[in-house]
Structure 1
Amino acid sequence: MKKQHLNVVIQLMIWLALFILQIILLPSWGKFPTIFDDISFYRTIIPEDILIFCIFYLNYLVLVPNLLGKRRKGLYILASILIFGLFLFFPVFLDFFFGIKYHGRFGNPKIMNLWLGFVGLMILGISLGMRSVQEWLRAEQRNREMEYRRTLTELRSLKTQINPHFLFNTLNTIYALSLKNSENTSTAILRLSTMMRYVLSDAKNDFVPLEKEVEYIEQYIELQKLRSTDKLELDVCIKGDYTSAQIAPLILIPFIENAFKYGVSNHETSPISLYLFVEEDRLLFEMHNKKFKSEPVRVSGEGIGIANTTRRLQLLYPKRHKLKIEEKDNSYNVRLEIKLKGEQYPLEPTLGNE
């Protein structure tokens, strides 16, 4: 509403400025008396300005939206012809109804009438152009808002898939420990409860402190180490100032899950390296692991992690991230760069006023 009021005020100021300029400049053309010589001159100028003002907004507010906007082109053309005629015979109208002799800008009255008709068509064209541009801008705004809502809906849908996916993978770990009657099962359950607290509380937000996300990653790695054998060669390097940055929750963990899921063997050396570096607003994440042929326990929801994350990156960090995944027969490498600072999607879009 504030934008609408401002638009009205601006238009009124423009009309007032044009009227004042007309009063000041027209007498200086030498065709008319000065403002101090003949006040009767303005008896024709003021009605003409009123006519221009009324026709402009008649076309802008009524004819264009109700005739052209509803595909009634024939009626609009007829209305335009009538308006052209009104301007064409405006001097006759003033003389017949009010006894006012029109001050012609040209010596020939016929040329004066044609000029006024041209002014009428010009007013129709200007108001039509302004209305068309305004409607186009409104349509563009509505399209952006619809696209924005679709994006938010898709993001929420993707986030609803995160928690089950996380739970399935973690329960797989605890299940593997229980099969071995491992004494680490109780410790794993305790770590799971800590991680679930983060997933159900902090991770429900669109963005979280990077520091908390790093803590979650460290908890997840410790949980995976409980089920791993001495064949695992884990190299984790997390450095940089990540205490003040924010990141989309659980955006990195699917790559780490993938490394432990397919990169750990009970019989062969299993090197996994994780590198996370934060400098100012730039995050660099790298994950490298060997790939073994495994037969994991099949669970519902398997396989959605990487695709989910790739799509979330596209929506949350458009043109602000670079993701390179290199998969070979015996290795899997991920390199991800994110520019952390920039426009972020709020929980709800702010709708513009029409």
Structure 2
Amino acid sequence: MERVKKVFVLVHIVLWTLWTLLVTLQLSDDGTHWQILTAGFILTCLYIFYSHFYLLTSYSGKKKKRAYFLRLAAIMLTGPLPFVFLHPKGLETWENSYDYYMMTLVTIVPIFTFLGWLARVTENLVFNTIKKEQLEKQAVEAELHYLKSQINPHFLFNTLNNIHTLVYKQAATAPEAVLRLSSLMRYMIYESNSHTVPLSREMNYLQDYVSLQQLRYKKSPVVDLQIEGDTASCHIAPLLFIHLMENAYKHSPARVEPGAIKVSVEIKENTLTFRIQNPIGNKAGTALEEPGGIGLPNVRKRLALLYPDQHNLKIDNSGEMFIVTLKIHGLHSQVHERETQLLYN
């Protein structure tokens, strides 16, 4: 906002400088008193313009129309006085004073009264537009922060219980489980505060999550995770896939066969395709049907805020298999746009 105000100040200075030069060129041929004549004319223009300009600033948003019009009338009636007083012939006779006064009142005063109003309205329009955009951005950031904070806390409690069991049994996998939980919590609390993160880091987070969930199962890994493409050069909004992973575990049967939950991530031509499928248990339902469910609605809201017109979310429910396919286009350009916005702000 301060930068925009400085731009408007610079515009005022440049325009008034050009106007002064133009008036000087026009009046420089009018004898030896052209300097004082120019000064009187410019002072009249400045007085009318900025008096109305700041009058509108004082009464912006107020309903005191009577006070405004009384002060405006005073400005318009006193506007010609600098030109009359500084004109070489302005005070020689009453007739001269009256003629110069009326000439200025009819010509210069209405023009610069209108220009003062136009400048004030233009600046207000620009400032209000910027404020509206800033408020919208703040609302979006607040909504995104709220959505990211809705990670299912039951996962943390279950994981701690599982680690407690491992420690109690003095299992060799207990230290690794603690390290993975530490990495996962560090990512959720600190690293996910950025607008975007490398996709490789998001995938590491998902792998830590899968490893900790695997503590619940005695069989081989129940998740088959396949990644294709350069994940290091691709950036994505953090914590975007975690709810889909939670849903896959939540709505799968109690006994899941090894590799039954299939997850694939493919990066091709600036397009990310994330696909996850899981078998549906007897008591399973979709997150949309679950009271208080935050899975798919959360993902939909975040995608709408982060990638409007850049994503496609497809959900297939055959009754036996639940499949979610998410495509996000133009990821690299999206990163550049966000960097530009951060520089602008």
Give the TM-score band, short-chain normalised: 0.7 to 0.9
The equivalent position to 2:118 in structure 1, one of 113, 119, 129, is 129
Give TM-score scaled by structure 1 length: 0.74
In structure 2, relative to structure 1, the CA distance for the partners of 1:217 and 1:85 (3 Å cut) is closer
Kindly state the Cα deviation for residue 189 of structure 1 after the two structures are TM-superposed: 4.8
Q: Does 1:326 align with 2:316?
A: yes
Kindly state the Cα deviation for residue 262 of structure 1 after the two structures are TM-superposed: 1.6
Q: Does 1:266 align with 2:245?
A: no
Kindly state the Cα deviation for residue 120 of structure 1 after the two structures are TM-superposed: 0.7
Q: Which amino acid aligns with 2:183?
A: Y
Query: C-alpha distance in 2, partners of 1:168/1:305?
Result: 18
Identify the residue that residue 18 of structure 2 maps to in structure 1.
17
The equivalent position to 2:73 in structure 1, one of 73, 81, 96, is 81
Q: Which amino acid aligns with 1:333?
A: I
Kindly state the Cα deviation for residue 130 of structure 1 after the two structures are TM-superposed: 1.1
Q: Which runs of 5+ in 1 are unaligned?
A: 28-33
Q: Which amino acid aligns with 2:23?
A: Q
SS of equivalent to 1:162: coil
Kindly state the Cα deviation for residue 252 of structure 1 after the two structures are TM-superposed: 1.0
Are the equivalent residues in 2 in contact too, given 1:210–1:246 (CA < 8 A)? yes
Q: Which amino acid aligns with 2:303?
A: L
Identify the residue that residue 32 of structure 2 maps to in structure 1.
39
Identify the residue that residue 164 of structure 1 maps to in structure 2.
153
In structure 2, relative to structure 1, the CA distance for the partners of 1:267 and 1:286 (3 Å cut) is closer
Kindly state the Cα deviation for residue 46 of structure 1 after the two structures are TM-superposed: 2.4
Identify the residue that residue 31 of structure 1 maps to in structure 2.
none
Higher relative contact order (CA 8 A, sep 6+): 1
**Among the aligned pairs, what percent are the same residue?**
26
Give TM-score scaled by structure 2 length: 0.76
Kindly state the Cα deviation for residue 72 of structure 1 after the two structures are TM-superposed: 2.0
Q: Which amino acid aligns with 1:200?
A: M
RMSD, aligned CA: 4.2
Q: How does 1:1-354 map to 2 (within 5 A)?
A: 1=2, 3-24=4-25, 26=26, 35=29, 38-61=31-54, 63-87=55-79, 94=87, 98-99=91-92, 113-114=102-103, 116-162=105-151, 164-168=153-157, 170=159, 174=162, 186=171, 189-190=174-175, 192-203=177-188, 204=190, 205-206=193-194, 207-225=196-214, 227-228=216-217, 235-264=224-253, 266=255, 271-279=260-268, 281-294=270-283, 303-338=293-328, 339-341=330-332, 342=334, 343-344=337-338
Are the equivalent residues in 2 in contact too, given 1:91–1:113 (CA < 8 A)? no
Query: C-alpha distance in 1, partners of 2:213/2:185?
Result: 20
Kindly state the Cα deviation for residue 66 of structure 1 after the two structures are TM-superposed: 1.8
Kindly state the Cα deviation for residue 122 of structure 1 after the two structures are TM-superposed: 1.6
Kindly state the Cα deviation for residue 167 of structure 1 after the two structures are TM-superposed: 1.5
Kindly state the Cα deviation for residue 52 of structure 1 after the two structures are TM-superposed: 0.8
Query: C-alpha distance in 1, partners of 2:83/2:255?
Result: 101
Identify the residue that residue 288 of structure 2 maps to in structure 1.
none
Kindly state the Cα deviation for residue 321 of structure 1 after the two structures are TM-superposed: 2.5
Query: C-alpha distance in 1, partners of 2:83/2:284?
Result: 94
Are the equivalent residues in 2 in contact too, given 1:282–1:337 (CA < 8 A)? yes
Kindly state the Cα deviation for residue 284 of structure 1 after the two structures are TM-superposed: 0.9
SS of equivalent to 2:76: helix
Summarize deviations over 1:171-227 as a string: whole Å, max 9, x none. Answer: 68x49x97xx9x999466555423322232223333333212212323433444554
Q: Which runs of 5+ in 2 are unaligned?
A: 286-290
- Structure with greater Cα Rg: 1
Kindly state the Cα deviation for residue 88 of structure 1 after the two structures are TM-superposed: 6.4
In structure 2, relative to structure 1, the CA distance for the partners of 1:137 and 1:252 (3 Å cut) is same
Query: C-alpha distance in 2, partners of 1:220/1:146?
Result: 35
SS of equivalent to 1:201: helix
Q: Which amino acid aligns with 2:231?
A: Y
